[in-house]
Amino acid sequence: MNDSLDAQLKDTVRYLGATLGETIEAELGSEWLQKIEQIRQDGRDSYANETQCTDRLTALFSSLDNQSLLTIGRAFAQFLNLANIAEQEYNSANQRDESLANSLEKIKAIGADKDKVQAAIQNLNIDLVLTAHPTEVTRRTLIHKHRELASQLQALHTSGLSERDSAKIKTRIAALISQAWHTEEIRSVRPTPVDEARWGFSVIENSLWEAVPEFFRELEDYLKDEFDITLPLDAKTVQFGSWMGGDRDGNPFVTSTVTEEVLMRARRRAAKLFALDLDALYIELSMNDCNAHLRDLVGDAKEPYRAVLKDIREKLEQTRDDLIPIEEWVNSNDELLTPLLACYESLHECGMGVIAEGALKDTIRRVHSFGVNLLKLDIRQDSDRHADVFSELTLYLGLGDYAQWSEEDKQAFLLRELSSKRPLIPRTWQPSDDVQEVLKTCDVIARHSKESFGIYIISMARKASDVMAVQLLLKEAGVSWPMPVAPLFETLDDLNNSPAVMRSLLDIDWYRGYIDGRQYVMIGYSDSAKDAGSLAAGWAQYESQEALVALAAEKSVTLTLFHGRGGTIGRGGLPAKAAIHSQPPGSLTGGFRVTEQGETIRYKFGMPQLAKRSLSIYAAAVVEAMLSPPPAPRSEWRETITKMAGKARDNYRGVVREDPEFVPYFRVATPEQELGKLPLGSRPAKRNPSGGIESLRAIPWIFAWAQTRMVLPSWLGVMKAVESVISEDKDDVVQDMISNWPFFNSRLSMLDMVFKKAEPHISAAYDARLVPDNLKHFGEGLRAELKDSIASILRILDHTDMMEDDPHGKLSMEIRGGYLEPLHYLQIELLDRIRKEGSSSYSDNDIATLERAMMVTITGIAIGLRNTG
């Protein structure tokens, strides 16, 4: 841990907090500032288990009117936002000290020779897929202010700054904090899928556009210096995909029209960014000397480089401004690469390589990473929606109901139609609106280029026919290229059955011809953990991947595993390196594809320095895992984890699925009902609006438990299962697994972090005020297991406190703890007021104030805990 940077982080948080205090005082007066300062002090002491401070907070909040509670909530949510910004700047400062070479030091330690490193680099393919999962609670207008604030902090911490410049920066910081304080922090309406896509585009424009070529430069320099390896100019090392505007699973607002609009907007945004690049190149490339090839392209032009770029530059501008028909837009990467590469090669041949290796090379790298479509859009849809198409169609054709057929009959029908040259769908057929929407989506795919799309993902895929059905729909729509279709195996049973499903597909000759040796499979983390608990799901995910890797090797197929991870352990979240090294050996052969979800996008990629740092961590971890794969589990490890997973699953389901008191307790002990009013993302909170806990999406499920600091989905049943197995004389085996098996070690490390964020005394406060007497014992039982679990992991890891191995993470949580404490007690007061029968006597204005204050506390707690979903 860098002590000087840690001291700077604490000082920065105090400075930003004091500046916010000045803003509040300017608006509300010194009496309000004193009140908030006292609450902050009590919050800090309450976090340190000073119960009289907790009692003071509770008594104060119960005595205040609704508007005052809103003001206090806003203040502490802003404090936590500022703490996050300070930490972002801290991480950027660390990036200045941590080059990619530092991240890749382990490669040299492995002792890999040049040939092995070169092979690993050639196979290095990191595909990051930005998703619109609704855990980004901060409005985009505030994100822009926060980014500028972080930039100002960087400037403030520059060495050798004059007093005049320092004062100027501090004035700007004060203005930005005041702007944020006087800006509405809660969206008035949910973002649309197009809004979410535009937010994703902004992440690229404001951060990744700069970070990607910088990352390539560092990687290139390292490989040249250490191994004399040249990184190919067309290296596909890092690429980007998106679900924003393509993920229609349970989201009625993502339609074929929306998908088409997002595709068009992405192309125009790419044209805008590449036009800016070419403007800069046009200024730089004023030279006269060129090679024969370039001279043939431009004739007797005096400035050949500018001449060859002129047409594509104008076409980019026309595409950007939508001034020409869509078919005349810049449509392919080759349209950009042809003139750029002609300039690059000419400059090298004419002794101007130093120019070629500058901004021109950066632009070429961007074409390979982003392309003229900016992002490759994935399409995701539930398997039942595809089956519905064929049910309606076969009934219309007099063939019976597809949904009632056996799996063998479905496969035979689909294979016959896939091999047929005649169309299946009659022109006169008028299907239902839902079926028509599925068909329109396939039509959109057919109208756009292969380069516009990533893969087609089938949610809740359970049978081989689920995959073949999509391939037939694409064929019928006229898609002329074999779009990769990936089954998403989500529940515990589906993960366990996935090898059999994929084997039945790969045994079909037609299917193997269609995929041309490349298969994508998506592994679902959220729903499997919600179904069976984090440990049982984690082991099922591991075994599934292990079997799929072996099957792909047997069938001579390149397998790309797509990891649908979220931010929390309950959604598969692990630090990037730990996640990669937790996978089975051989699972990276086909590349590394992973979702980047919700607020983690901003924390990992929201600033260029942070983005470069994240890309470096990914690259180093993947290369290291390729050169030195994690060990396959020994037989005694496999036996032990299988027993643990089974016990953990039974423990978890015994509470969540089998205890009749669980759902009533969950509904009153957490703000689950109130979460539905928070306009986080475009998707509804439930797949089925009338359904119960089983239909609740994994994200609000996790989100609700985080609010009360029970964080239950991440740990329930796990340590009880671990202790049960240890009691069977397995302590030595468990310690061996911790020391030598990254899969198991990383799960305990993540639980260590979860337990640092868990606060039983806060959960107890929610229960005391909100849970009826007949259910209070239920919460007491859960907290007893939580406390036992914390004691258990400390004993097993031989630690005296949580997060001993992650001092910066521990410091970060302790800085936030004092600010979070008041928000929890404020939320309890608000929930009590909102739920009481007497609330019907409130005026419309009172209700609006209460609900807004509630949303502010939910947002503030999510901001403070960070990896909420």
What residues act catalytically? Answer: 133, 530
Distance, in Å, from the CA atom of 237 to the CA atom of 108, rounded to the nearest integer, reads 20
Kind and range of the H or E run holding 268: helix 256-284
Calculate the alpha carbon distances from 243 to 197, 483, 569, 570, 604 in Å.
8, 16, 22, 21, 18
Token code pair at residue 272: 């805008």
Cα 670 to chain centroid, rounded: 24
Count CA within 13 A, CB hemisphere, residue 44: 6
Is beta strand 126-131 parallel, antiparallel or unpaired with respect to 453-459? Answer: unpaired
How far, in Å, are 109, 434, 714, 833 from residue 805 at the CA level? 22, 52, 19, 42
Could you give the CA distance from residue 804 to residue 766 in angstroms, rounded to a whole number? 29
CA distance 869 to 865: 10
Q: Is 586 left (phi over 0), alpha (psi -120 to 50) or beta?
A: left
Distance CA 597, CA 524 (A): 13
DSSP per-residue letters across 28-60: H-HHHHHHHHHHHHHHHHHHTT-HHHHHHHHHH
Count of CA atoms in the C-beta half-sphere (13 A) of 718 = 31
Instruction: Name residue 524's beta-bridge partners.
Output: 564
Query: In angstroms, rounded to a whole number, what is the distance separating the alpha carbons of residues 795 and 752?
Result: 12
Report DSSP letters for 64-130, one per residue.
S-HHHHHHHHHHHHHHHHHHHHHHHHHHHHHHHH--HHHHTHHHHHHT--HHHHHHHHHT--EEEEE
3-state helix, strand, coil in the chain (%, to 5): 70, 5, 25
CA-CA distances (angstroms) from residue 240 to 213, 407, 722? 14, 36, 39
Q: Give the whole-angstrom CA distance, residue 753 versus residue 617.
A: 20
Exposed (0-12), middle (13-18) or buried (19+): which is 708, by Cβ within 10 Å? buried
DSSP letter assigned to residue 751: H
Pairing of strands 518-524, 558-564: parallel
**342, 209 Cβ separation under 8 angstroms:** no
Residue 588's Cβ-side half-sphere holds a number of Cα atoms within 13 Å equal to: 28
| 563 CA to centre of own chain | 10
Region class of 598: left (phi > 0), else alpha (psi between -120 and 50), else beta: left
- Would you call 697 helix, strand, or coil by DSSP? coil
Q: What are the tokens at 822?
A: 């008041």
Neighbours of 738 (CB within 10 A): 16
